[in-house]
Structure 1
Amino acid sequence: MITHLSILFVVKRSKLSSKGLCPIHLRVTFEGKRLEITTGRFIEPEKWCIDSGKVKGKSAEVREINTYLDILRSRIYTIQKDLIQAGEIISTEKIRSKFCGVEDNQRLLLIILNDHNVKMEQLIGNEYAKGTLVRYKCCYRHLKNFLRIKYNLSDIDISKVNLEFINNFEHYLRTKDENPCSNNSAVKYIKNLSKVIRICLANEWIKRDPLVGYKSKYTEVNRKFLDDVELRKLENKEFSIERMDVVRDMFVFSCYTGLSFVDARNLTADNIGVGIDGRKWIFTARQKTKISSNIPLLEKAEKILLKYEDYPRCGHRASKLLPILSNQKMNAYLKEVADLCGISKELTFHIARHTFATTVTLSNGVSIESVSKMLGHKSIKTTQIYAKIMDRKVSDEMDSLSDLLSKREISLKDKL
């Protein structure tokens, strides 16, 4: 049996912290395979001695770090010895597991999350959207970095995940050196983690929900939309570049249907039918929620469909009704469209959906219940967010109330 092991300590100069410190890593090489584990210790790069693999100097702090590194080296050799005595096959993964205190029968958080992500990826386009998978993969990366930095672990037993761990993870997300998360992003990642917790509870891998007692909430975001003047500017603008004309039309179509980017992009002739009023309707289900979204086809939206009836499509999108580009390209071109139309707001395709909810429907007296149904919202509470930002609607209704009160006052005076 080959038992030769190489143990080195190296500093990662490429991972310089905001304080100018480098992390010290433990590097173990066995049979050509390398294992790296962070030691949790940081030093100024110029104090590191490459030849000795130790920190230069004689201060108390330097002695403490060097003693700690000697202890880690000794632990690796002890693990090697124990594996040989037990007759087990030595590997870098086996050494990692022993070093991090991971037993074979443990349920590990990152393994469970990764398994969830693999299964989700297999259902993209069927049960899940690609963007959902991206968020869960980001959550995985954040958890991996958090475990390494906070606990010096490559993974953790799910039974050891408690409320303290959850709060520490949220704090890490909000304060990490590179791109700290906003409140809403941090809460979303905790929500992603909570799904893994529910899987573990359902499988009886843990007995208690570690999220009990966790408190955090989304910060309400002020949703942007186009007002009447801005929408007219957009509709009436003549473009000399065909690409800009197409992008504007796709955006306007969404302003008069409320369809999200992916639902507008997936629209086919099968989604157009005759409603109970004898007019054309869009019959679809939101890809995000699978909730039915039936929308009477307004004249402006129908004209756009007719305009692109014979427009050349490309490849696999030949059966779709609209020539919608990727979301990234649409949003990039919409910024140009906004500039050309003299609109100062930073346009994205989703703003069209907000415009439908506010300027096109709620502002013109359509009930919030009808708007909620057309938008395919799970709860009317989601639709009420749009009602909160309708200052103009509030103003119009108060004007009507003022007129009514004035007339009533005059009527009362006449009777006195």
Structure 2
Amino acid sequence: MLKIQFDRRADRPDAAGRCPIHLRAYFDGQRLRVATREKCFITEWNADKGRFKKPFPGLVEANEYLDILAERMHARYRQLRASGVAVTIEALKAALAPPAVEAPKEEEPAPIVLTELYADYQAALKARGNMVQSMVSVATTLTHLNGFEKALKRKLQLGDYDLAMHDKFLAYLREKKKLGQNTVCKTVKHVKAFLRYVREDRRMPVAVESREMKIRWAEVDKVYLSAAELSLLEKAMLPSTLVATRDAFLFCCYTGLRHSDLAELNKANVQTWDGSRILRLTQTKTRTAVSIYLTPPAAALLDKYEGTRAHLLPAYSNQVMNRYLKRIAQLAGLREMVEVVTVEEGKVVKRQQPKHELLSMHTARHTFAVLSLMRGLPVAVLQKVLGHAKIQTTMLYAKVVEDFQHQEMRRIWEGNTASVPAVVPNPVCGIETAVA
């Protein structure tokens, strides 16, 4: 049986004269004395009851504390006896030790969802001044990632996107979405840029390195019009509803403008140089300043629409104009069959399509580049007109100029210098060489 009482150790007063209160326990022929960490003056202690009395400050709380100590020791004693374990002084002392405070568990970091982090990446690009046109392609990649998650039926965390998961994403793009090789390449380009942002800007670990995400762009034949085809388009009899689109397309063939730049042309872009008119503008896509000489056919189109609209030339949405162009080219007689080569499910697929079905507003830019090279415009000059940052981009057009290649080979091997005329009457384009 356990008996507990509290007493005041009068033999150990502190400097103020207060003495410590001890707990005494008697059990199974053993005795235990434990300090309670409480002290009081003799006038504050009731020796008969073994409790504090007035005027001890915090009287009620102090006596409750002694009751708690006694109850904890009784509970420990009963527990040890019930379990058949020998009751020792050390075991009872342990009952009076302050309960161990569990260290707060570290909260597990919230999972980093890949698509949510990609949305942060989009916001960062926008804040850094990326152009709307480039952001559209970035957003398309997020759409593909969301679709990939739906196919997996789970959210992807950042750490999930390793090389094996990347390969599954590529398979999804090709097999499920039926995307072409270069569209897949463009998507991978955005994923690589996103992962670089995560690693370098956000200082987060990624599970796959960009160099491991290897993919090869497919060479695509650029559709362009020959000089004869361009002439057919110029002379074609068309319904009045299609004339404006034809004229806008021809103007781009004469200047190399993109649709986005055509749509923004205004009077401030037209300036004079050496008695002729030129275009000076900053390209919408690349923000590159270009200066383009207006040949007589291009200038005549400006005159045709002068004062009839806010912008210099008619320009509808790119999708609408592309649809109109296919009908225009068909009416102009551009029915030559063209071989279109694609890669589908790892196989090279060749199809024959009429050329008019392949025309778009960007065909005008290709046409301008190819015809300019065929007329002898130096590649370095063409680079400036097109606004390419790298000459390698312009050189892609040189690869498709078969006639120019054949002419040069004949000139070198057969000594036929007449193949490439030094001066061509009525050139399609020119380049500003000096500023008035």
TM-score bucket of the superposed structures, by smaller chain:
0.5 to 0.7
Closer, same or farther in 2 for the Cα pair 1:103/1:324, shift >3 Å? farther
**Which structure's residues are more often helix, by fraction?**
1
How far 1:183 sits from its partner (Å)?
A: 1.1
Q: Secondary structure at the match of 1:212?
A: helix
Q: Shift of residue 378 of structure 1?
A: 1.8
Q: Structure 1: which 4+ aligned runs deviate by more than 4 Å?
A: 118-123
Distance 1:364 1:206 in 2: 53
Give the letter aligned to residue 282 of structure 2: A
Query: Cα 1:103–1:223, aligned 2, differ >3 Å: closer, same or farther?
Result: farther
Alpha-carbon deviation of 1:288? Answer: 1.3
Assess if the C-alpha contact under 8 Å between 2:374 and 2:401 holds in 1. Answer: yes
Question: Which position in structure 2 is the counterpart of 1:155?
Answer: 156
Q: Which residue is 2:11 aligned to?
A: none
> Structure 1 counterpart of 2:186, which letter?
K
Counting only pairs closer than 5 Å after superposition, residues 105-184 of structure 1 correspond to structure 2 as 105-118=110-123, 127-130=130-133, 132-150=134-152, 152-156=153-157, 158-176=158-176, 179-184=177-182
Structure 2: runs of 5 or more not aligned: 1-106, 336-354, 419-436
1:332 to 303, 323, 328: 323
- After TM superposition, give the deviation of residue 117 of structure 1 in Å: 3.5
Cα distance in 2 for partners of 1:120, 1:208 equals 22
What TM-score does the superposition give when structure 2 sets the normalisation length? Answer: 0.62
User: Deviation of residue 112 (structure 1)?
Assistant: 1.6
Q: CA RMSD in A?
A: 2.5
Question: CA offset at residue 406 of structure 1?
Answer: 11
Contact 1:247 1:330 in 2 (8 A): yes
Residue 173 of structure 1 and its aligned partner are, at CA, apart by 1.1
1:364 — aligned with what? 375
Structure 1 vs Structure 2: percent identity of aligned residues?
Answer: 30
In structure 2, the residue matched to 1:84 is: none
C-alpha distance in structure 2 between counterparts of 1:405 and 1:226, whole Å: 26
Which residue is equivalent to 1:293?
290
Q: Is the 8 A contact 2:326 2:360 kept in 1?
A: yes
1:136 aligned partner, one-letter code: V
Tell me if structure 2 keeps the 8 A contact 1:144–1:155: no
Matches within 5 A, 1:12-31: none
Cross-structure match for 1:233: 232
- Report the CA distance between 1:305 and its aligned residue: 0.6
Residues of 2 paired with 1:353 and 1:405: CA distance?
Answer: 31
Partner residue, 1:273: 271
Q: 1:271 deviation in Å?
A: 1.4
- 1:364 partner letter: R
- Counterpart CA distance in 2 for 1:348 and 1:306 is 24
User: 1:260 is matched with which residue: 235, 258, 261?
Assistant: 258
**CA–CA distance in structure 2, aligned partners of residues 164 and 268 of structure 1:** 51
d(CA) in 1 for partners of 2:297, 2:404: 23
Contact kept, 8 Å, 1:244 with 1:337, in 2: the verdict is yes
Report 1:59-78 matches (<5 A). none
Matched, 1:352 2:364: yes
CA distance in 1 between partners of 2:417 and 2:122 (Å): 63
Name the structure 1 match of 2:312. Answer: 321
Pair 1:401–1:212, CA change in 2 (3 A): closer
Alignment of 1:239-258 (within 5 A): 239=238, 241-258=239-256
Q: Distance in 2 between matches of 1:392 and 1:294?
A: 28
**Is 2:332 the partner of 1:341?**
yes
Separation of aligned partners in 2, 1:251 and 1:103: 59
**CA distance change for structure 1 residues 175 and 406 in 2, over 3 Å: closer, same or farther?**
closer
1:214-246: CA deviation from partner (whole Å, max 9, x where unpaired): 21111010000000110001112233x222111
CA-CA distance at 1:299 after TM superposition: 1.3
Structure 1 CA distance, aligned partners of 2:361 and 2:377?
Answer: 23
Give the Cα–Cα distance (whole angstroms) in 1 for the partners of residues 151 and 376 of structure 2. Answer: 54
User: Does structure 1 retain, via aligned residues, the 8 Å contact 2:411–2:417?
Assistant: no
Asked if 2 retains the 8 angstrom alpha-carbon contact of 1:163 and 1:211, the reply is no
Could you tell me which amino acid in structure 2 is paired with residue 325 of structure 1? Y
Partner of 1:274: helix, strand, or coil? Answer: strand
What's 1:399 paired with? Answer: 410
TM normalised by structure 1 equals 0.65
Superposed counterparts of 1:34-53, under 5 Å: none
1:107 deviates by 2.9
Aligned 8 A contact 2:161 2:207 in 1:
no
- 1:139 Cα deviation from its structure 2 partner: 1.6
- Shift of residue 111, structure 1, vs aligned partner: 0.5
Mapped to 1, the partners of 2:130 and 2:417 lie a distance apart of: 56
CA offsets 1:68-102 (integer angstroms, 9 cap, x no match): xxxxxxxxxxxxxxxxxxxxxxxxxxxxxxxxxx9
Which residue is equivalent to 1:10? none
Cα pair distance change 1:305/1:211, threshold 3 Å: same
Q: Identify the residue that residue 223 of structure 2 maps to in structure 1.
A: 224
Partner in structure 1 of residue 305 of structure 2? 308
Corresponding residue number in structure 2 for 1:93:
none
Q: For the structure 1 residues 103 and 328, does the alpha-carbon distance in structure 2 shift closer, same or farther, using more than 3 Å as the test?
A: farther
Which amino acid in structure 1 is aligned with residue 317 of structure 2? Answer: S
Matches within 5 A, 1:203-222: 203-206=202-205, 210-222=209-221
Q: How many residues align?
A: 290
Q: Deviations over 1:167-209 (max 9, x none)?
A: 2211221121xx3111111111111112211221222022676
Whether the 8 Å contact between 1:139 and 1:189 is mirrored in structure 2 is yes
